[in-house]
Amino acid sequence: MQYSEYGKTGKKVSAVGFGGMRFDTTLSTEENAELVRYANSQGINYFDTAPGYCNSQSEKIFGEAFKDMPGQYYVSTKGMPQTFDTAKKAREGVKRSMDTMGIDKINFYHVWCLRKMEHYHLAMKKGGQYEGLLRCKEEGLIDHIVFSSHQPGHEIKQILDEGHFEGVLMGINVLNFPYRWDGVLAAAEHGCGVVAMNPLGGGMIPEHRDALGFLAKDGEDTVEAALRFVVSCPQINVALNGFTTREHIDTAVRVAADAKPFTDEDLARIRQNLSGAMNEVCTACGYCVKGCPQNIPIPAYMVFYNQHHMFGTSEEEMTKLLANELTWGTLVGRQADAADCIECGKCEKACTQHLNIMDRLKTIAGWQGEE
């Protein structure tokens, strides 16, 4: 395992981190906790979670694992400025996560899910979340105040330029790196740590490994090439992976053991193969669905739409694929159809990637037609 110093914190973090968003919740807490311990035994020392992940089980799973970890580790969790909009609430959120995980300190606490500058300004208001986190730091409850962003690179740079944070968690991978590269470079310039979420494009890269074969070279597997891109990038400290099996961990650790950086020629070749469409693929984060008054399974529809958006699959073929998906796939148990959208706009306001969800639902409704 390779390690690097997270910004100027003095903490050496593993090139691969364990993201607690994809636990198999059909397993017991102890079974999932054992997976966390296994990852730690293989050299992974950065563990990231948040309240609400995995039906609010993620922090509990980590807490169980932390009772008997084989090695040294760092804990990362988060709180949204919309939820913790006062200093008092911010401290309560920190304490609640500490109690859930049974720990006496959080190493990296994120102002969570900044999707636009308004969210940042809300966190920074007088008497707001950031003020509360500063107090927590003074009390020794947290070590470092960082932030999680789904913004374009220039907005991430703007936040980092103001100098309030020690690091950033952002969605960056070999498909979308041009979209957020300004943020990565700004973090390096300011001596801030960088953690990359969605290094495999939220599952898009494994799903389309053949079509994305241009990412790899010399017989390398597409998925391993995508992970190598993030792991080997000198400006990125941690590639955050969601693991569900030991085999997933073994693959990531193997790639991290000897990850060679992409050359300028590699990046030029990839840029030529990428289109602007790659910046607008849904990663199924799920924020859009929570406020839908029609209970439309928006993430499932949007992930299905990715195939058309990314690879230009024909309307005729998408119609056939959708019929199969409605009958046998992820949309079988839906409570509502794409055509049931009333265009309230709540999904687009919640979308971390600012996608035109309502237009896409209209298109999908056309493919779905009359059942």
- Same domain for 109 and 60: yes
Average confidence (pLDDT) over 323-337: 79
Q: Is the dihedral of CA 26, 28, 29, 34 positive or negative?
A: negative
Where a domain ends, among 249, 273, 297? 273
Mean pLDDT of the chain: 89
- Same domain for 303 and 248: no
Where a domain ends, among 224, 245, 273? 273
- Same domain for 363 and 333: yes
- Same domain for 312 and 166: no
- Same domain for 328 and 206: no
What is the tally of structural domains in the chain? Answer: 2
- Same domain for 168 and 56: yes
Confidence band, pLDDT 50/70/90 cuts, at residue 207: confident
- Same domain for 198 and 100: yes
Q: What is the pLDDT of residue 179?
A: 67
CB 171 within 8 A of CB 273: no
- Same domain for 287 and 269: no
- Same domain for 344 and 263: no
pLDDT by residue (tens digit) across 105-159?
999 999 998 878 889 999 999 999 999 999 999 999 999 999 998 887 888 999 9
Q: Which of 8-12, 174-178, 262-266 has the lowest mean pLDDT?
A: 174-178
Q: What is the pLDDT of residue 277?
A: 57
CATH number at residue 111: 3.20.20.100
Q: How far is CA 257 from CA 14, 16, 92, 140, 251, in A?
A: 10, 10, 39, 34, 10
- Same domain for 294 and 178: no
Measure the N-to-C terminal CA separation of the chain; round to a whole number of Å. 52
- Look up the domain containing 330 and give its range: 282-368
- Same domain for 211 and 72: yes
Average confidence (pLDDT) over 357-371: 87
Percent of the chain exceeding pLDDT 90 equals 56
Q: pTM above 0.85? A: no
- Of these ranges, 84-98, 188-202, 326-340, the one predicted with the greatest mean pLDDT is 84-98
Average confidence (pLDDT) over 338-349: 93
Q: What is the pLDDT of residue 321?
A: 87
pLDDT(275) > 70: no
- Same domain for 96 and 154: yes
Percent of the chain exceeding pLDDT 70 equals 95
Average confidence (pLDDT) over 13-24: 94
pLDDT(278) > 80: no
Where a domain ends, among 241, 273, 305? 273
CB 344 within 8 A of CB 318: no
User: Could you tell me the maximum CA-CA distance found in the chain, to the nearest angstrom?
Assistant: 61
